[in-house]
Structure 1
Amino acid sequence: MDGPEECNRAVLVSVATFDSGVPLEKRSGANRDAKKLHRILTKLGYKVELHMDPSSKEIYNLFSEESRRPVKDCFLAVLSSHGEEGCVFGSDGKPVRLSRVFTYFDNECMEKKTKLFLIQACRGGALDDGVEVDSSVSRFPPYLSVPVDTAVMFATSPGYGAFMNLTGSVFLQSFCSLLEEQGHSNLELTKLMTRLSHRVAYTFEAKGRKYDGKKEMPCLLTRLTRDVFPFAETEKDRNGERMSATSLVVSQNVRQRIVSLS
């Protein structure tokens, strides 16, 4: 068994119910996302912690502490709540600035560790009609800069809403489905995120009088400096020792990647 310092870790923060008096609707389906993520990530060897309905202060304190805890190869954070561009909301209705959360992980403890953030939250009130383009490059605001060796995958594009229903969010449910399908968990991270974007963009279309025909387009912000395989299934080498994502890192001709949208 790996000790605490030898585990990949995942922290799931899910706000489904807000405090009395907070003008934010209950997020039906958030619990389904959390339970499925917990099951799948645990199966993939992550030590998973689930935090339901924390306040904004509790979220800040949580990630401040998590950023100083040891991790083997990869730290994964999922933040699921109502949100606006640059923030998500705690159960008290107060904003949690993502830029502040990211800066916690710019430290020696997390140096050379892969940090992956999945953000399931709206980034505005616009609805996506699904326009085809030949290529897409998005300029992210400077306050969303993140530490080196970090990737942030947003459920939706800047200014747009993210969809969820009783069965969960299209973004996180699609992510879980990919990890469950044969071969996908062994993909390099950016390839996996690209397939996630494709699946959400091309297989999802909202229904109902208000949202009929609307789409969702995830986007990836990355400062990765190497190829990483954070969900690769563990195997046994010739000596019977377990292989990890670190042993699968491509270290030759390494150069820092440009922050990009996939």
Structure 2
Amino acid sequence: MATAGKDTTDASGGPGNTATPAIRHSKPPVNHHRAPRAATYSTSILPFERSPNGNILAAFCRAAYWTQGRAVWGALTASGDTKHCYKMDHARRGRAIIINNETFHHDLYLGQRTGTDRDAENMESLLSELGFDITARKNCTAAEMKSMLVEAARESQGDADCFVCVILSHGDDGAVYGTDESVKVEDLVAPIKACKSLAGKPKLFFIQACRGKFVDGGVEVVDSKGKHGQDDEEEMESDEVAVQTIPVEADFLMAYSVAQGYYSWRNREQGSWFVQAVVKVVRDNWRRMDLLTMMTRVSHKVAYDFESNVPSNRFLHMKKQIPCITSMLTKDLYFTPKV
């Protein structure tokens, strides 16, 4: 259950940011935790005590997770089912782009997206764990957003497994916002569609943004275990622009935070419901589940485990959300551990 932060939409919008931030390339985080005291008895696991980060448990878990992931792939290989799986044994996992827009120009009247930095940090951590080379930028204009996708498409992707783009911003159905204006999602996807070295490879887009002006009041079900909000209020993303939906072609997956026409919820302390669920579910299951199975669990988690708590506004109080996963993948996608 998400803990809520007291913060409602600021209709006056946040300050614009037209400067071009530097591109940040990240590597998997280093564990700086102090190593536990060495065991006083003899054990074959003791060599892990001398692991690079000095953490026995972390090293043991990494080895166990790698073994589990390879075992799943080994079982698929033995059964001959790999013909229905994407080839994920290229030299590198691939490029992941994270676009995180928090503040917008005054004339757009869009509120500051408090809590989005938590989403960006969590997605960066997850994608690093999966082995992606990450390019992260904050507060991009619409032109800068398109430029990032064009640059990614120009890169040589022949030795990559797949491509990922994460967009965190305000939006409406079919569009997301740069700091200065909106841009159609299809215009962001187009360069990746045209990238020949990504042909036949998974191309994954995760979009945390509103897709309309409606709020989901929910419906009671017998086995519902959805939780009510706690003491503080949720923040709701809100803005709209009339645009068309995108055409999705083979080997694409478009993971939207909310169904068509609806608002998307974000907690100012914990981040958006959708990103919280994606990070939790994928981190717990990527070594043994395919992506679509995990995204089904993400939808379940968002639908059942989250509920808005805005008692000061009955129109926003006790509302729900359901992600929308549009898949044109042609095979099962397993993030096979790299050797």
TM-score category, normalised to shorter length: 0.7 to 0.9
- CA distance in 2 between counterparts of 1:168 and 1:110 reads 31
Task: Please report how far the alpha carbon of residue 142 of structure 1 lies from its aligned counterpart in structure 2 after TM superposition.
Answer: 7.9
TM-score, normalised via structure 2 length: 0.62
Identify if the C-alpha distance between structure 1 residues 51 and 193 changes in structure 2 by more than 3 Å, giving closer, same or farther. same
Partner of 2:282: 179
Post-superposition offset of 1:5: 7.1
- Name 2:330's counterpart in structure 1: 225
How much has 1:112 moved relative to structure 2? 1.1
Structure 1 unaligned regions, length at least 5? 134-140, 235-241, 243-262
Distance 1:5 1:70 in 2: 12
8 Å contact 1:123–1:156 — kept in the other structure?
A: yes
Identical counterparts, % of pairs: 32
Query: Which of residues 194, 197, 209 in structure 2 aligns to 1:109?
Result: 197
Letter in 1 for 2:122: K
The residue matched to 1:50 in structure 2 has which SS?
Answer: strand
Q: Which residue of 1 aligns with 2:255?
A: 153
Task: Give the Cα separation in 2 of the matches to 1:214 and 1:67.
Answer: 39
Q: TM-score, normalised by structure 1?
A: 0.79
AA at the equivalent of 2:337: E
Amino acid at match of 2:214: A
Following superposition, the deviation at residue 68 of structure 1 comes to 2.4
Equivalent residue of 1:13, what SS? strand
2:208 paired with 1:144: no
Aligned positions of 1:47-196 closer than 5 A: 47-71=133-157, 72-92=160-180, 94-107=181-194, 108-131=196-219, 143-166=245-268, 167-181=270-284, 183-196=285-298
Query: How far apart in 2 are the matches of 1:212 and 1:163?
Result: 12
Q: CA shift at 1:132, angstroms?
A: 6.4
Q: Which has the larger radius of gyration?
A: 2
State whether residues 68 and 110 of structure 1, in contact with CA within 8 Å, keep that contact through their aligned partners in structure 2.
Answer: no
Contact 1:178 1:185 in 2 (8 A): no
Matched, 1:19 2:89: no
Partner AA of 1:233 in structure 2: P
* 3-state SS of paired residue (1:27): coil
Distance 1:34 1:185 in 2: 22
1:205 aligned to 2:205?
no
Show the counterpart of 1:10: 96
Mark the CA change 1:142 to 1:190 in structure 2 (over 3 Å): closer, same or farther. Answer: farther
Point out 4+ residue stretches in structure 1 off by more than 6 angstroms: none
Once the two structures are TM-superposed, the CA of residue 69 in structure 1 deviates from its matched residue by 1.7
Q: 1:227 to 1:7 in 2, by over 3 A?
A: closer
Letter of the structure 2 residue corresponding to residue 148 of structure 1: A
**Which of 37, 41, 57 does residue 127 from structure 2 map onto?**
41
Report the more deviating stretch, 59-68 or 82-91: 59-68
Aligned partners of 2:171 and 2:211 also within 8 Å: yes
Q: Do the aligned partners of residues 180 and 143 (structure 1) sit closer, same or farther apart at CA in structure 2, a change above 3 Å counting? A: closer
AA in 1 matched with 2:324: C
> What runs of 5+ residues in structure 2 fail to find an aligned partner?
1-89, 222-242
Q: Sort the Cα spacing of 1:184 and 1:106 in 2 relative to 1 into closer, same or farther, 3 A.
A: closer
Determine the C-alpha separation between the residues in 2 that align with 1:85 and 1:152: 13
Deviations 1:75-99 (A, max 9, x none): 111111110110000011x111011
Return the letter of the residue paired with 1:76: V
Alpha-carbon distance in 2 for matches of 1:150, 1:16: 27
Name the structure, 1 or 2, with higher relative contact order (CA <8 Å, separation 6+).
Answer: 2
Structure 1 residue 22 displacement after superposition: 2.9
Aligned in 2, Cα 1:152/1:100: closer, same or farther, shift over 3 Å?
same
Cα distance, 1:145 vs structure 2: 1.1
**How many pairs does the alignment contain?**
222
Query: Counterpart amino acid of 2:281?
Result: L
SS of 2:137's partner is strand
Secondary structure at the counterpart of residue 171 of structure 1: helix
